[in-house]
Amino acid sequence: MNYDDYNDFDELNNYGHSENRYLTYEEVEKVAASKVRGSILWMVLGLLISGLTGYFTLIGLSNGTVPFLVVPVAFVLEFVAVITFTALTYKASASVLKMIFLVYSVLTGITLSAIGAIYDPYAIISAFTGTVVLFTVLAIYGYVTKEDLSKYRSILMVGLIALIVMGGINFFIQSDGLMWISSMLGVAVFIVFIAYDVNRIKNNVISYALHEDAGILDKIEIHGALALYLDFVNLFLYILRILGRRK
């Protein structure tokens, strides 16, 4: 659903211009639901783009039409895209941020093409199915819960830092045990991140709607899409590592 189609959205934009206009709780909830749904739909679009890009890149790598150098270059450009996205948050329009998100999805698809050459197709399908189920359950919980999940942010940051440190250490020592522990921790961290991010998107939309600032809602939507995309991809990769059926 496009938010321009929401019949109270124009009134929301004019909320600060009329002292007689106050949004009802139901109206704010509808806007929040619509924006959360928009974030998820953008995430799904990004995943589709990544999947198709990864598939055709894998074919190109297999038959030699795509040089392997494309993968590490795409990996570097992913970081550039995220940094650019963050730097332009308060300067660029939501449309520009959406374009960067789509470019990032293409780049991620290229880098993820490597898993098709490493892992058994059944392991990939199983990991993806499990990720979809977990994402759906946790996203629903994050939206319907009355609890403010922002209080878990510090714990999630500690878990994320622990994953980065363990990943760096294991890059050198190549320990199967440490890989297993970090994979289990990664699944736990990103399961919580899914509920946390959906809850955060909803609360941010409600907060800005109530503070008469509708212009930033589209930015919250695409920021939420990127966060959920990263949650999904990371959860998928950690589940895949646990399944671990390589070719």
Residue 18: the pLDDT is 40
Q: Which of 64, 167, 186, 59 lies closest to 113 in space, CA to CA?
A: 59
Digit-coded pLDDT (tens) for 168-182: 888 788 888 888 899
The residues, any chain, with a CB within 8 Å of residue 197's CB and separated by 6 or more, are: 142, 224, 227, 228, 231
Residue 119 has pLDDT above 60, yes or no: yes
Q: Where are the domains of the chain?
A: 23-243
At residue 121, what are phi and psi to the nearest 5 degrees? -55, -35
H/E stretch holding 111 reads: helix 94-118
Mean per-residue pLDDT of the chain: 84
Q: What percent of the chain has pLDDT over 70?
A: 86
| Residue 101 CB burial class (10 angstroms; 0-12, 13-18, ≥19) | buried
| pTM exceeds cut of 0.75 | yes
The residues, any chain, with a CB within 8 Å of residue 123's CB and separated by 6 or more, are: 240, 243, 244, 245, 246
Residue 25: the pLDDT is 66
Partners of residue 246 on adjacent β-strands: 119
d(CA 44, CA 82): 18
Digit-coded pLDDT (tens) for 16-55: 434 435 566 677 788 888 899 999 999 999 999 999 999 9
Residue 9 has pLDDT above 70, yes or no: no
Average pLDDT over residues 140-155: 89
